[in-house]
Amino acid sequence: MNRYLDVKEDVARAVAEGRPVVALESTIISHGMPYPQNVETALNVERIVREAGAVPATIAIIGGRLKAGLSPEEIEYFGKKGMSITKASRRDLSILCAKGEDGATTVTTTMMIAHMAGIKVFATGGIGGVHRGAETTMDISADLEELARTPVVVVCAGAKAILDLGLTLEYLETHGVPVIGYGTEELPAFYSRSSGLKVDYRMDSPEEIAAAFRVQTSLGLEGGMLVTNPIPEEYSMDPAVINKAIDEAIDEMNRKDIHGKECTPFLLAKVKELTGGDSLDSNIQLVYNNAGLAARIAAAYCE
C-alpha cells in the first residue's frame, strides 16, 4: 500500500472482500458548483451508489494525504473551501503531498488514486479532452493520457461539450482506449445525448461492459476503458442552445487570454450563466445517472 494513501475503512473492507466500489472525483465539489449545492450533490451521488449496491469512495487530497473515501465532514470541508483548493492533476500530486496541502482530484488523479486503492470503476460527469484550437495551443487534457495508462473503467457522459469532440476521439483511438457507448452507437455530447460522432462499440448491459474489462485486464493490456452514458432524455439540452452558449463562452475566454487548467472552470461557469442555470441542472443529473451505471458495472465486475 502506498504510504501516502489513506483508504476509508468501509472502502478498504469492500475491496478486500471483492465487493463493488465506485470512485468519485472531488473537483466537481470544489470547482464544479457553488456551496452548498456542491456538498448536497456529492452526498446525493454517494447515496445513489449505495442504493445501487456499491460502496462510494470520493477521492481527494487532504493535508498531503491521498484519500480514497471521504467522510461527510470532509466533503463539507471541501465544499466550503471551494475554488481555493488546488485543482490537482498528475503533475501536482508529489508537490501537494510533500507540502502537506489539499488538492481536488480531476479525472486523471481520481483514476490514479483509485488504482492505488484497488478500485476498478469510477463515475464522473465528463472527461477532459482535446481543446478547440489545440492544433496551435497544444491544450490537451491529461485525462486522455491517464486513460491510456491506468486500468480503470471510467463512466461519463462523454467529453465535456466545450472541447473538440472529434479530435478527442481520434486521440483516444491513437492511444488504444476503447470508447463504449452505453445503449448507443453515438458519442454523447455531455449536455445533449449525441454529438453525431460514432463510438467504437455499443454495449447494452453492465454485465457486457464488466466482461470486456475483465478480459482487457486478463490480457495484460495497459489502460482503462471509457464508457459514455447519454444524459437522460428529460434533462438533455437543445444542441443549438448549448452550442451557442459554448461558442460565446470560448470567445470571451480567448479575449481574456485564459489558458491551461483555468479554461474548464471558466467555460463551465460562463455557460451556466448564459443558459440561466440550465446547464448546471443538466450537469448534476448526468452525474447522478453515471453514478448509478458505474455501481451496476462494479457489481457485475465483482460477480
Q: pLDDT over 90 for what percent of the chain?
A: 74
Identify the sign of the CA torsion 5, 75, 128, 87.
negative
What is the mean predicted confidence (pLDDT) over 191-200? 92
Q: Transcribe 18-82 into DSSP letters.
A: T--EEEE-SHHHHTSS-TTHHHHHHHHHHHHHHHTT-EEEEEEEETTEEEES--HHHHHHHHHHG
160 versus 46: the higher-pLDDT residue is 46
Q: Report the pLDDT value the prediction gives residue 131, as an integer from 0 to 100.
A: 81
What is the mean predicted confidence (pLDDT) over 129-147? 87
Catalytic hit among 8, 87, 120, 160 = 160
Residue 165 sits at φ, ψ, to 5 deg, of -70, -35
Coil/strand/helix, residue 226: strand
Check if 160 is active-site.
yes
Query: 98 pLDDT exceeds 90?
Result: yes
Residue 303, number of CB atoms within 10 A of its CB: 11
Q: Report the pLDDT value the prediction gives residue 260, as an integer from 0 to 100.
A: 67
Residue 289 sits at φ, ψ, to 5 deg, of -60, -40
What is the mean predicted confidence (pLDDT) over 85-108? 97
Name the grid cell of 99: 507540502
Query: 71 pLDDT exceeds 90?
Result: yes
Q: Report the pLDDT value the prediction gives residue 290, as an integer from 0 to 100.
A: 98
Name the grid cell of 151: 486500468
What is the mean predicted confidence (pLDDT) over 111-131? 96
Contact between residue 225 and residue 212 where contact means Cβ atoms under 8 Å apart:
yes
What is the mean predicted confidence (pLDDT) over 198-203? 98
What is the mean predicted confidence (pLDDT) over 81-89? 95
Q: Report the pLDDT value the prediction gives residue 237, as an integer from 0 to 100.
A: 84
Q: Is the peptide bond before 36 cis (omega within 30 degrees of 0)?
A: yes
Q: Report the pLDDT value the prediction gives residue 137, as an integer from 0 to 100.
A: 74
Contact between residue 282 and residue 288 where contact means Cβ atoms under 8 Å apart:
no
138 versus 48: the higher-pLDDT residue is 48
Catalytic hit among 8, 25, 87, 272 = 25
Domains and CATH numbers, the chain: 5-302 (3.40.1790.10)
301: confidence class by pLDDT, cuts 50, 70, 90: very high
31 versus 56: the higher-pLDDT residue is 56
Q: Report the pLDDT value the prediction gives residue 1, as an integer from 0 to 100.
A: 56
Q: Report the pLDDT value the prediction gives residue 261, as an integer from 0 to 100.
A: 65
Query: 278 pLDDT exceeds 90?
Result: no
Least confident of 103-112, 158-167, 186-195: 158-167
Distance of CA 102 to the CA centre of its chain: 19
What is the mean predicted confidence (pLDDT) over 38-43? 96
Query: 40 pLDDT exceeds 90?
Result: yes
Q: Report the pLDDT value the prediction gives residue 293, as an integer from 0 to 100.
A: 98
Model pLDDT for residues 220-265, shown as the tens digit of each residue: 999 999 999 999 999 988 888 877 887 888 788 888 888 766 777 7
Name the grid cell of 161: 461539450
Query: 272 pLDDT exceeds 80?
Result: no
Identify the sign of the CA torsion 238, 242, 247, 248.
positive
Q: For the chain, give the mean pLDDT.
A: 92
Q: Report the pLDDT value the prediction gives residue 59, as an integer from 0 to 100.
A: 98
Query: 287 pLDDT exceeds 60?
Result: yes
Which DSSP category does 103 fall into?
Answer: E
